Amino acid sequence: MASCHHWPVEDDDPLDEQGALDFWRFPKAFSAKRHTEKIEAFKTVAQTWRMKERMKTVSVALVLCLNVGVDPPDVVKISPCARLQCWIDPLLYNDPASPNNQKAVEAIGANLQRQYERWQPRARYKLSLDPTIDEVKKLCISLRRNAKDERVLFHYNGHGVPKPTQNGEIWVFNKNFTQYIPLSICDLQAWMGMPSIYVFDCSNAGMIVNFLKSNLLPLPYNDIENAEIPVMIGNSADETSNIDADTSNNCIQLAACAADQMLPMNPELPADLFTSCLTTPIKVALQWYVQQKTSKLVIGVTHEQADKLPGQLNDRRTMLGELNWIFTAITDTIAWNTLPRELFQKLFRQDLLVASLFRNFLLAERIMRSYNCTPVSMPKLPPTFQHPMWQAWDLALESCLSQLPKIIDDPNSFRHSTFFAEQLTAFQVWLACGSDKRSPPEQLPIVLQVLLSQVHRQRALELLGRFLDLGPWAVNLALSVGIFPYVLKLLQSSARELRPLLVFIWAKLLAVDSSCQADLVKDNGHKYFLSVLSDQYMPAEHQMMAVFVLTMIVNNYPTGQEVALQGNLIALCLEHLGDQNSLLKQWLALCLGKVWTNYDAARWCGVRNSAHEKLYPLLFDPIPEVRAASVFALGSFINNSTERDEQINNIDHGIATKLLSVLNDGSAIVRKELVVALSGLVMQFETQFAAVALQFSEDEIAREYHTVTGTTGVFSSPHELALFRGGGMKRSSSTRCLKGLLSPVGFTADAFEQTPGGSFKRIASSSSVVGSLIGGYSNVYSNVWKALQLLANDAVSSVTEPAKKLIGFVKQKVMPPLGGAARSSAIMRQRKGSAPPPVAPGSAPSSPSNRPGSFMPSKAVAMTTENADTSRPTTLKLDHSSTMPRLLNNLQHMQPRRLTSESISEKNDEILSRQLSLSTDFFLWSCRYFTESMMWRLEELDPEGPIAQERDYRYTRAARAVRLAVEERKKIKISRLDDLVCINRNIGVPSFLRFHPYEPHLIVVDKDHICVWDWEQSVKLNYFSNSNPRLTRITYSEFINAHDRPLLVTGSDDGVVRVWRNYVPEDGSRTELVTAWQALSDMLPTSKGAGLVMDWNQTSSTLYTSGDVKFIRIWDVQTELRVQDLPTHAESCITSISLDRQSSSVFIGGCGDGTVRVFDKRLPPGESVVKVFREHPTWVVKAYTLQSFPNRVASASTHGDIRLWDLRTNESLKTINAQQGLTAMEAHQHSELLACGSVQQFVAVYNHNGDSISTIKYHEGFMGQRIGQVTCLAFHPLKVKLAVGSLDQFVSVYSSQDSRKK
C-alpha cells in the first residue's frame, strides 16, 4: 500500500469534524492566481522538436559487385548456400552466351531499384553493375552535382568481390573482369560529398565504418558550405567518441555486419539478407517468423503461404498494409524510447528515406543477430533487438498468419488487428495510474500513428489531449515525437465531433510554442478556428480556446493579422462580448487588442464596428482579468494610429476618458494595464501633454513659493520669479500634495505688476495661450495627467514604476534640471538680502532661462527700473513677445512620437526611449492558463490528496480551538481579569492590537510597522514595514482567511488597504505584499483623525471601509470592486465599524460627533441609516455589535461613558461611567466583558451589568511600575484574554486566573 502523509490532529472529536465542515463552506479571499503567483510570462525552454532544415535523399547510387557465377577468393561458401539477391535466384538466368550472367545482374539491379522506390519514389536512381573505379567516380560526382545540398545514398553490394581491407578499401572490377581493383573509401567520400548515406552489404562491412570513424577527409566536390565536418586523420580513441554527434546528420553509414563477421549463408535465407531487411522488411519478417518454429497460434504455415499475404503496403485497410502500419508504429516506438531525442529527430524525422531505412535497420538487427551477425551503424544505435515491443510485433504477425488460410479462400473474412486498440488502452492506463515522477509513456508514437485511422481517431485525440494537459513537458514530448504534422493535417477534417478535441490540442501546442502560428496560416488552419468561433452550438469553453488560438496567430505576426482580418475576426469577437463565460470575454478582449496592434486596417475595422464602445462594459466586469483585458484592448487601440485626423482624436479622447473610470479599481493588474494604456495616449499627444506638464508645473511653483516664503500671491523680485519659472516640478509623495494636484489649474505666473510695497502681483495669465496649444481637449489631457500623478503614488510598485517613468519622460522634455530644493534655498537667500550668484564677465546670467532646454529666454524678464524714477511704481512684465512665442515654437515643433530637447544628450534620449517601451506581462501571464492542467486539478479535487489533507487539518484544528474556547468559557467563572500572561516591549508605540483566533499570534501595529508576537511564548516572530508613505500611519489591521492560510490586511490613514502573506515567515519564505488599493480616495492624513477604519466579513468576502470621510464604502474582495457607497449623514468622521454577524446586511458605525448610527445596506443609499443613537456627548471611541448577544451593541466615548444598546429600542439599556479621557474600548464577543483604557494610565474591566471586574494600573514583575497611557486594547476572539498597549511601548496580555489554571 502506498504511504501518504497524515497531518497530526491532537484528538478526534465529532464536533471538531462538524466544525471543520462549516469552515469548508467559507470562501477564501485573495486566493486567485493573480494573488498567489507573479504576473509574469511562462518560462519557455528552447524548442528542439522543429528541425532546423528538412532534408531529402534525392539521388541514389546502386552499385552491385556480384560477378555472378564467380566466388571471391577470400570467401569459402558452403553448399547449399544462400543464393537469392533481391529475391531473385541468379542461376535462373544462367546464360552461357551472356558474360558474367549480365541478365541476372540487370534483373537484380532493377528489382533493387523497385524495392527502394517503395520508400522514396521521387528520387533519382542510377545503377552501376559490376563497375570499374572510373564508373563509380563518374556516377558519384554526377549525383552529387545534381543533388546540390540534398542527401545522396550509396548502396554497395560486395557479394562478388573480396572483403574490405583494413586500409579502408572496397573492391570493384577492371574492364575485363580479370582483376579486383581496390576503391579507397576516402576517395569515395570525396566524390560523394555531404550529406550522404552509405549502405554496405558485404562481409566484414563494419571495417568500413570503423575506418570512417577515424578518418574524415576534406570534401572537394561537396557544394555544401555548412557541412561543419572537421578534418581528422588518425583520431585517438578518446576523440572518436565525439565524432558521432557531429557527423550523424551528414555522413550516415549502415553496415551488414561487424568488422570480424561473415554474412550468413543459410540457404533458407536470401544472400543479401541485410538489403532485404532494409528494403522489404515485411516479407523478411514473415519468412523469418515462419522459420522460427516457435509460434503457438500458427501451425503449418509455409513460406509460399506467407508470400501470398493479401493487400498493398500503402493500403491500411488490407492485411499487408495494416501489418506494415503496425511495423512502422512499433519501430518508431522502439526508436523513440531508446534513442536520445536529438538523434531520434535526425534519423526518424528529418528525411523520409533515412527514417524508413533506420526503422528497417532495427528489424535487421533483430533478425541477423539470430544468425550471429551484428549490423552496425554510424551514428551508433543502442541494442534494440530485445525490446519488449518486439513481442507485440510477434503477436501481430501471429494474428495475421492465423487468418491466412481463411483469407485465401474468402478475402472478405479479414479481421483487423486489435493492436492499436490495445495500445490505446495501455496509454489510457498510464494516464490514469501513473505517478508524478513517471517515465514517458512508451505508446506515444503509436498514439500518433492511430490518428491516421478513422476508427480510433477520436479516442486517440481524447487521450492525446489528456496527455498534453499534463503540462509543457508533455507538449514538448509530443512535439518531439512528431505530433505536429498529424494534428495540422486533421484541421482539414470536417467532422464536428473532433472540433473540441482539436481546439483543445492546438491551444496546448500554441501556449508552449507560439512559432506554430506560421504553419497554421500557411495551411489556412486559421479558418478552422474561425469556424469554431462562429459556431453558435459550440460550448463557450471551446470557443474560448479557439479565440486563444486565433490570438496566438495574430500575436506579433502581421501575416496572421491580415488573414484574421480577412476572416472577419473582429466582428466575430464583438458578437461574443456579451457571453457570460469570463474566460471567453477575457480572451476576446485580448484577441481584439492583439489583432489591431500596429495594424491600422484592423483599427479602422474596429472603428466601423464601434469596437471601442462595445468594450466599455467590460471595464466594469466583476472579474478583474476581464477588466484588465479590456483596458489592454482599448490601450492598444489608442497606441496604434500612424496618421491622425479629427475623428481619430475624438475617439482616442473618448477612450481615455472612459479608461479613467478604472483609476480606483481594486485590482493592481487593472491599474497597471491602465498606466500602459495611458502611455499610448501620451505618446500620441506628446505636444499637448508637454504643455499640460508645464501648466501644472507653474501652478505648483506658485504654491511652493508661498509655502517657502509664507506670502500669499506675490513674488518679491524678478529673480525669484525667474528661479521659480525655471525650476521644474518637485515630486509629490504625500496625499496632501496629491490633493493640490487635483485642484483646478488656475494660477500661472506670466505677468506681474510691482505693488507700491515693492512686491509683484499677478496681472495676467498665460493659461489661455498654453490652452490654445492644447486645443479643446484640455480637460482630457489634464485629467489624464492627474490620473498619472495618482498612479505614480500607487501602493503597488508594479503600478508606480511605469507611471513614474512616463511622467518623468514628459517632465524631462519640458523642465530644466533645477529641482525644488535648490529653488527654495535660492529664494530664501534672495529674501534675506543675499546677492544672487556672481556672473562671470562676458557670460550670460546664471538663470534658468539660460540653461539648455529651458523655455525661459534670457530676455524673458524686462526690468524697467534702470534710469527710472524709483518713487513711481515700477511695472515688471514678462516679455510675451519673446517668451510665449518661443514656448509655442518649441512645443509645436515636437515630433509626434518624439520630443527633442537640447538639454538631453543622445544617451539620455536612448534611455528615455527604452523606459517608454511600457508593457506588462499580463497577456503572457494569461497564456499560462493553457500551459497548466485544464481538464482536472487532481491535487485540489482529490479528497485524499495532500492539499485536501492539509486544509482539513487546519479546519479541524480551528474547529477544535472554537470548541475548547466554548468549553472554557462555560467552566470558568470570571471574577478578575488581571493575571499577566506575558509582557513585551514593542519596537514602536502600539496603536492597534489584534489576536489571531486560532494561533497564538498577536499583531501589534505602530505608526508604520507591524510586529507579530507569540503571546504564549513571549517571542517576537516578525517585524516588517507596512510601506505606507511618510506622514501617514496605520490605523487598522485584521486577519483574512484566519481559518485557512491567514493573510493580514492593514489600513492606513491615506486610505490605502494592504494585504500581506507570510506575516510569520516559514520554510525560508518572506513576508510579501499580496495586493493593495486605494479604498478611500478622499481622505486627508491627520494626527487626530480616525484614519481608515474597517471591518471584515469572511462569509461574504466583503470589506467595510470608512474613516475621515462622510460615507461608508463596501468592497467585494473577490471581484475587487466597490459595491456600495453609503452616506453617513453625519458632520464628522466614522471612528469604528462593526458588523452584525447575525444579519449580513446590518452594521453600526460610531462617529466623531458622539452618535452611533445603524445602517442597512439593503436600502437605497440615501435611506440606509435606519437608526441614530445620540446619547454620547463626545467622540465615540468604539462601537461593537456583540456576536453572542443578538441585537446588542456596546459603545464608549472619550467622555468616559460606556453604553449598551438594543437595536430594537431608541435608548441605551445600560450606562457605565468611567473616568474621562478614554482612549480605547473593547468588548468580548462571547463573554459579558467590557474593557476600557484611559490616558489616566489604567485599564478597567466591567461586565454588562456595570460591575467592575478588574482595574489594571501597574505592570507585574516590574517593581510596581505604572502602566503608560493606554493606546489600544484587544480581546481574544474566542478566549478570555485581553491585550493592552500603552504609550511606554509595552504590550501586555492578561487572563483570568481560572482560565490560566485550565
Over residues 644-666, the pLDDT tens digits come to 788 888 999 999 999 999 999 99
Structure confidence at residue 262 (pLDDT): 92
Q: What is the mean pLDDT of residues 19-29?
A: 75
Structure confidence at residue 751 (pLDDT): 36
Q: In the structure, what pLDDT confidence band is assigned to residue 16 with cuts at 50, 70 and 90?
A: low
Q: What is the mean pLDDT of residues 275-294?
A: 88
Cell of residue 299, nine digits? 501451425
Structure confidence at residue 839 (pLDDT): 39
Cell of residue 446, nine digits? 503509436
Higher pLDDT, 780 or 409: 780
Establish how many alpha carbons lie within 13 A of residue 393's alpha carbon, considering only the half-sphere containing its beta carbon.
26
- What angle do helix axes 133-147 and 185-192 make, rounded to 10 degrees? 30
Structure confidence at residue 914 (pLDDT): 45
CA angle, 577 then 548 then 566, to 5°: 75
Sheet of strand 1146-1151, all strands in order from the earlier edge strand to the far edge = 1134-1139, 1146-1151, 1156-1160, 1169-1173
Structure confidence at residue 100 (pLDDT): 58
Q: What is the mean pLDDT of residues 239-246?
A: 41
Beta bridge partners of 1224: 1237
DSSP assigned state of 296:
S
Q: What is the mean pLDDT of residues 958-970?
A: 81
Distance between CA 939 and CA 920 in Å, rounded?
31
Q: Is the peptide bond before 195 cis (omega within 30 degrees of 0)?
A: yes
Compute the 3-state secondary structure of the chain and give helix, strand, coil in percent, each to the nearest 5: 40, 20, 40
Structure confidence at residue 48 (pLDDT): 72
CA angle, 1282 then 1284 then 1286, to 5°: 175
Residue 937 has pLDDT above 60, yes or no: no
Distance between CA 1176 and CA 798 in Å, rounded?
45
Q: What is the mean pLDDT of residues 422-440?
A: 83
Residue 1085 has pLDDT above 70, yes or no: no
Q: In the structure, what pLDDT confidence band is assigned to residue 228 with cuts at 50, 70 and 90?
A: very low
- Please report, in angstroms and rounded to a whole number, the separation of the first and last CA atoms in the chain: 42
Structure confidence at residue 54 (pLDDT): 75
Least-confidence region, from 2-6, 1073-1077, 1097-1101, 1161-1165: 2-6
Structure confidence at residue 317 (pLDDT): 86
Give yes or no for a contact between 742 and 787, defined as CB atoms under 8 angstroms apart: no
Structure confidence at residue 1 (pLDDT): 37
Beta bridge partners of 1136: 1150
Beta bridge partners of 1122: 1115
**pLDDT > 90 fraction of the chain, expressed in percent and rounded:** 52
Structure confidence at residue 720 (pLDDT): 53
Structure confidence at residue 289 (pLDDT): 85
Residue 758 has pLDDT above 50, yes or no: no
Distance between CA 760 and CA 1278 in Å, rounded?
68
Higher pLDDT, 535 or 9: 535
- What angle do helix axes 686-709 and 718-725 make, rounded to 10 degrees? 140
**pLDDT > 70 fraction of the chain, expressed in percent and rounded:** 78
List, for residues 512-559, the tens digit of each pLDDT value: 998 899 999 999 999 999 999 999 999 999 999 999 999 999 999 999
Residue 729 has pLDDT above 50, yes or no: no
Q: Calculate the average pLDDT of the chain.
A: 81
Q: In the structure, what pLDDT confidence band is assigned to residue 970 with cuts at 50, 70 and 90?
A: confident
Higher pLDDT, 271 or 733: 271
CA angle, 1267 then 1269 then 1271, to 5°: 115
Q: What is the mean pLDDT of residues 1027-1032?
A: 89
- Positive or negative: CA dihedral 1197, 1202, 1204, 1209: negative
Higher pLDDT, 694 or 593: 593
Q: In the structure, what pLDDT confidence band is assigned to residue 297 with cuts at 50, 70 and 90?
A: low
Q: What is the mean pLDDT of residues 428-439?
A: 78
Residue 780 has pLDDT above 60, yes or no: yes
Strand runs labelled E in 477-616: none
Give yes or no for a contact between 310 and 348, defined as CB atoms under 8 angstroms apart: no
Residue 1139 has pLDDT above 80, yes or no: yes
Cell of residue 132, nine digits? 570499374
Instruction: Please state, as a whole number, how many other Cβ atoms lie within 10 Å of the Cβ of residue 485.
Output: 11
DSSP assigned state of 844:
P
Give yes or no for a contact between 1297 and 1260, defined as CB atoms under 8 angstroms apart: no
Q: In the structure, what pLDDT confidence band is assigned to residue 1264 with cuts at 50, 70 and 90?
A: low
Phi, psi of 1092 (to 5 degrees): -105, 120
Q: Is the peptide bond before 1190 cis (omega within 30 degrees of 0)?
A: no
Give yes or no for a contact between 803 and 684, defined as CB atoms under 8 angstroms apart: no
Structure confidence at residue 707 (pLDDT): 67
Residue 1202 has pLDDT above 90, yes or no: yes
Q: What is the mean pLDDT of residues 501-519?
A: 93
Structure confidence at residue 750 (pLDDT): 38
